Amino acid sequence: MPDSSGVTVFDDLPKWLVVDEILVWLPAKDVLRCRAVHKSWRSGTSTNAFILNHHHRQPSLPIIQNIEGIYRHAGSPTDKKIQRVLRHVDPFTNEMTVCHAACDGLLILEKQSNFYICNPTTRNAVDVVGFYRLHTSGEHRVLWVSYSKEVSYLVLIGAAVPTKLPDYFVLTVGSDQPRCIQWLTVSKHGYPATQSFNSPPVHNCARLHWAIGLNITVFDTVAETFRQMSRPTQLGDKVTLLDMGGSLALCCTMIDCVNLDVWVLQDYDAETWGFQYRINLSAMEALPPLDMSIKHPPRMALINERELLIEQCVSRLLHCDIAGAFLGNVSNEDPLSRFMLTMHRLQEIIISLPLFEG
């Protein structure tokens, strides 16, 4: 509280102490409010060092969405609700915004065939044609693929080998000069899709990873080249890639839609995998009990190293631990609202995109 002269206790503290030891621990929205209080706070919280230090203290949480907006899990073991981070402009139409990618607190969204980058924390957005952070320069870049009509049709109907290779492009956010790179290896499973709502790439070791067929396609973001990585072939092709605390993981859904097996890449260079744990939905003591007659392929996302979210059926999100113990149902204010678990993650950041400057 200010005294009679209007001076607060913060005015007696060094700027570095306020910025680096107090403001850096606040939630993102509170940091943005503090920027309007004091000029030194605004400048101190706008540096790259502060933004990255603050970002690293934020939890990386699963993204959930429905026709009304985009949400994330609250991240608290005691709070089973979800928090809306972005509201759709018109919730009464069928044009739901689709989240195609997430990186460093930024989202690539699509609505009515238009793509744009959005920061839901600062409410900024940039329109783009069609996303990863280059660790060597700090630049955010977009990777997209362009098919001819003939190639698109052949891939869609499951043809073994498209007759023409697609073109891949890399664009630095804030630049209008995309670079064309070529996917040179023909695969019977087709090509990785950058606009991948169901199976987005996982960022690990400065590379993007897609689970395609019985292999993993890898894009080196520095060399801008593609290659293939091996994985346990006994898991079949019904797998999903996960980021498990900095390690690459695979979630395999069994054909009975009951068991989910998690494997972790133990040695990246040697490409050796190890079984981690199994979640048995039929043994889970959930309230209300799970309807195991529903053969809906479950989807899983990690909250932290011990807790998971599982979409067992449409609009039923389970909060459990890695031992399969039920911790609660994830709920929303509107019990009739239907949610689905995306495979993207949101870790808040207060970075300003280049096109917002000036």
Which domains occur in the chain, in start order? 10-57 (no CATH), 58-350 (2.120.10)
- Model pLDDT, residue 44: 92
Burial of residue 134 (CB within 10 Å: 0-12, 13-18, 19+) is: middle
Q: Give the single-character DSSP code of 81.
A: B
User: Which pLDDT score, from 0 to 100, does residue 227 have?
Assistant: 86
Question: What is the C-alpha separation between 116 and 107, in angstroms, rounded?
Answer: 8
CA dist 282 and 292 (Å) reads: 7
For residue 128, the model assigns a pLDDT of 46
As beta bridge partners, residue 18 has none
Answer yes or no: is pLDDT of 201 > 50. Answer: yes
Residue 58: pLDDT over 50: yes
pLDDT given for residue 327 in this prediction? 94
75 pLDDT above the threshold of 70: yes
**By mean pLDDT, which of 196-210, 254-268, 299-313 is the weakest?**
196-210
Q: Cα–Cα distances in Å, from 170 out to 27, 104, 138? A: 33, 18, 15
Give the residue, 69 or 91, on which the prediction is more confident.
69
75 with 61: CB under 8 angstroms? yes
- Average per-residue pLDDT in the chain? 79
> Residue 102: what pLDDT?
87
Is the pTM higher than 0.75? The answer reads no
Which residue did the predictor score with more confidence, 184 or 204? 204
pLDDT band at 195 (very low <50, low <70, confident <90, very high): very low
pLDDT at site 55 = 92
Average pLDDT over residues 295-301: 85
CA 192 to each of CA 166, 241, 357: distance values in angstroms, whole numbers, following the listed order: 11, 13, 33
Q: In the predicted model, what is the mean pLDDT of residues 75-79?
A: 74
pLDDT of residue 17: 87
Residue 115: per-residue pLDDT: 74
Banded pLDDT at 25 (limits 50, 70, 90)? very high
Q: How far apart are CA 134 and CA 221, in angstroms?
A: 7
Mean pLDDT value of segment 5-26: 77
- Give the tens place of pLDDT for each residue, 90-114: 545 556 778 888 888 888 887 766 6
Q: Is 1 exposed, middle or buried (0-12, 13-18, 19+ CB in 10 A)?
A: exposed
Q: What local confidence, expressed as pLDDT, does residue 251 receive?
A: 92
Q: What is the mean pLDDT of residues 252-267?
A: 88
264 pLDDT exceeds 90? yes
What is the structure's pLDDT at 270?
94
Q: Which pLDDT value is given to residue 275? A: 95
pLDDT tens for 157-168 read 334 444 455 678
Q: Where residue 37 falls among pLDDT bands split at 50, 70, 90?
A: confident
Interior/surface letters 91-100, b for 16+ CB within 10 angstroms, e for the rest: eeeeebbebb
- Whether pLDDT at 1 is above 60: no
The answer to whether residues 62 and 73 touch, using CB atoms and an 8 Å cutoff, is yes
